[in-house]
């Protein structure tokens, strides 16, 4: 079993030998020389005096995952997750950079002051590099410039209820004015695209009629609610020229609309999450609140459509949307699903999920690397990350296909151990995670190094 030398420092000089390296266009057996945290050389056989060596025969070397969508809820609700456990969990899943969302923490990241406070906490506690989203909410239009000047990776707004009193959804006027400003600031606006009028109205009716089962929950968030919001947002983006990123898209209908916009040359990207690909509405019925999210897990036929769209390259990237909460907010015995927290806890499993899907559907591993690292880096301006090539940061996820991984309470490193993924067996496992040339995680052992907050170099 490969055991990494954890003593090497940032200036560590190491050759990772014989790994199956997942490049942008192929997987190739190569040596990787690391020097001063960068990929110094890539070639079939490297001879460098004085370099440490690690043999990676039989293992796969992916670019460290860049997860653009997590909620660590700190400051203010660190007991929900927090930077310390959240980022450590991500490292255990082969993730070397994450973008933390502006809501669920208190205060929300909707002012310059809140951003700087959160950045300081992240610098102290994060196990991996990270970036921070700013929020667009009613009334913070004048804060957007300060947030942009202090390096937010982009802005996030909700078109439906957020589940969070401290972060209001954006009404149409806020959306339009915000898009105009965000265009001027040269940033991207990420959107939770579900129609508030549709979801709120259908929810009120169900609650009034005391119909609060899993099926009732699904009926309150129909695919049309997502399609309508996507359509409206695309029209506003056409009006304002605002670059858009749709988060956690869950339906083929929404993708149809996004594809038309892309073909018309609009600046729009779209993500989905592994839970929409690996699970479906029957898991909500069977497992209850741990499977509750918004948009909801869809019926099996929609799940199949999403997998087909993924294989066809219609999703730009995949993120976890890790949105955990304290145990009692996901009470498995909750008779009223509507009262349970909406969010899937599983940030550790995105890369493993994508490799599972790649193996099952014969998707080349370079496509997995595109979805989990290259596309996020390119979309959000991280120009030293996202691909294994000379000069880039030495960020890697070392994966074994010869060792399966069954999720349990000891190998799932989130703060709260309830998860939709509990007892799920992946056909692969993360052997080690390396950040800028240093071993962060290896076989359930962690090494704390010190993280960098990233701001986009250019969009
Ligand atoms: N406040 C949240 O964490 N919401 C999240 N919850 C989900 N997806 O169920 C989200 O991304 O919308
Ligand atoms: Zn959302
Ligand atoms: Zn989210």
Asked whether the beta carbons of 452 and 21 are under 8 A apart, the reply is no
Reported as a pLDDT band with limits 50, 70 and 90, residue 446 is confident
Write down the pLDDT at residue 159.
Answer: 98
- Residue 407 reports pLDDT greater than 70: yes
Q: Encoding tokens for residue 376?
A: 């996020």
* Residue at token pair 């196990």: 127
- Residue 299 reports pLDDT greater than 80: yes
Reported as a pLDDT band with limits 50, 70 and 90, residue 158 is very high
Write down the pLDDT at residue 13.
Answer: 87
- Calculate how far, in angstroms, residue 103's C-alpha sits from the geometric centre of ligand 3: 8
301 marked as part of a ligand binding site: no
Reported as a pLDDT band with limits 50, 70 and 90, residue 443 is confident
Tell whether pTM > 0.80: yes
Residues with a beta carbon under 5 angstroms from ion ligand 3: 321
Before 295, cis peptide (omega within 30)? yes
Q: How do residues 89-117 score in pLDDT, each as one tens digit? A: 999 999 999 999 999 999 999 999 999 99
69 marked as part of a ligand binding site: yes
* Residue at token pair 């699903």: 337
Pocket of ligand 1 (CB under 6 A): 71, 103-104, 162-164, 192, 248, 293-294, 321, 323, 342-343
Mutate to test the pocket of ligand 1, among 274, 284, 294 (most ligand atoms within 8 A of CB): 294
- What lies within 8 Å, CB to CB, of 368 at 6+ separation is 22, 62, 351, 354, 355, 358
Mutate to test the pocket of ligand 1, among 167, 217, 321 (most ligand atoms within 8 A of CB): 321
321 marked as part of a ligand binding site: yes
Number of C-beta neighbours around residue 99 at 10 A: 23
ipTM above 0.90, yes or no: yes
Give the whole-angstrom CA distance, residue 193 versus residue 390: 38
* Residue at token pair 């996030």: 156
Write down the pLDDT at residue 2.
Answer: 39
156 marked as part of a ligand binding site: yes
Q: How do residues 301-343 score in pLDDT, each as one tens digit? A: 999 999 999 999 999 999 999 999 999 999 766 667 999 999 9
CA distances from 116 to 76, 111, 132, 342, 453 (A): 14, 9, 10, 28, 11
Q: What is the mean pLDDT of the chain?
A: 94
Q: Encoding tokens for residue 411?
A: 């190998």
Write down the pLDDT at residue 335.
Answer: 65
- What lies within 8 Å, CB to CB, of 67 at 6+ separation is 90, 95, 97, 98, 99, 319, 320, 322, 347, 350, 372, 376
- Residue 11 reports pLDDT greater than 80: no
Ligand nearest to the CA of 69: 3
Give the whole-angstrom CA distance, residue 157 versus residue 137: 7
Question: Who wins on pLDDT, 1 or 131?
Answer: 131
Write down the pLDDT at residue 448.
Answer: 67
Q: How do residues 268-294 score in pLDDT, each as one tens digit? A: 999 999 999 999 999 999 999 999 999
């Amino acid at each position: 079993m490969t055991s990494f030398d954890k003593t090497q420092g940032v200036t560590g000089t190491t050759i990772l030998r014989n790994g199956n390296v997942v490049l942008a266009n192929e997987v190739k057996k190569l040596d990787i020389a690391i020097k001063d945290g960068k990929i110094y050389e890539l070639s079939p056989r490297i001879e460098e005096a004085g370099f440490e060596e690690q043999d990676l025969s039989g293992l796969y070397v992916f670019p460290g995952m860049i997860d653009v969508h997590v909620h660590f809820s700190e400051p203010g609700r660190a007991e929900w997750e927090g930077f310390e456990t959240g980022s450590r969990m991500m490292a255990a899943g082969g993730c070397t950079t994450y973008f933390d969302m502006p809501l669920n923490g208190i205060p929300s990241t909707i002012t310059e002051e809140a951003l700087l406070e959160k950045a300081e906490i992240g610098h102290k506690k994060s196990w991996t590099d990270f970036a921070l989203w700013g929020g667009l909410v009613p009334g913070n239009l004048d804060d957007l410039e300060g947030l942009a000047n202090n390096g937010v990776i982009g802005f996030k707004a909700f078109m439906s209820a957020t589940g969070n009193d401290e972060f209001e959804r954006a009404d149409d006027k806020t959306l339009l004015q915000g898009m105009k400003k965000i265009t001027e600031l040269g940033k991207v606006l990420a959107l939770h695209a579900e129609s508030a009028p549709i979801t709120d109205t259908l929810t009120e009716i169900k609650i009034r009629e005391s119909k609060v089962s899993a099926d009732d929950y699904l009926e309150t968030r129909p695919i049309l609610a997502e399609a309508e919001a996507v359509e409206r947002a695309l029209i506003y983006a056409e009006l304002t020229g605002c670059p858009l990123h749709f988060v956690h898209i869950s339906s083929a209908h929404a993708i149809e609309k996004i594809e038309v916009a892309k073909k018309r040359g609009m600046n729009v990207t779209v993500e989905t999450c592994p839970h929409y690909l690996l699970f479906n509405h029957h898991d909500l019925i069977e497992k209850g609140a741990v499977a509750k999210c918004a948009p909801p897990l869809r019926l099996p036929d929609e799940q199949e459509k999403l997998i087909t769209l993924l294989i066809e390259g219609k999703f730009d990237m995949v993120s976890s949307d890790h949105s955990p909460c304290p145990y009692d907010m996901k009470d498995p015995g909750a008779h009223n699903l509507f009262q349970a927290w909406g969010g899937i806890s599983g940030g550790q499993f995105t890369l493993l999920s994508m490799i599972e899907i790649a193996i099952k559907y014969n998707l080349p591993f370079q496509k997995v690397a595109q979805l989990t690292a290259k596309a996020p880096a390119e979309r959000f301006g991280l120009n030293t990350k996202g691909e294994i090539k000379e000069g880039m940061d030495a960020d890697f996820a070392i994966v074994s296909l010869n060792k399966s991984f069954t999720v349990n309470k000891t190998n799932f490193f989130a703060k709260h151990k309830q998860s939709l993924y509990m007892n799920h067996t992946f056909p692969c496992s993360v052997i080690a995670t390396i950040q800028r040339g240093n071993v962060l995680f290896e076989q359930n052992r962690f090494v704390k190094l010190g993280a960098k907050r990233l701001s986009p170099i250019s969009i």
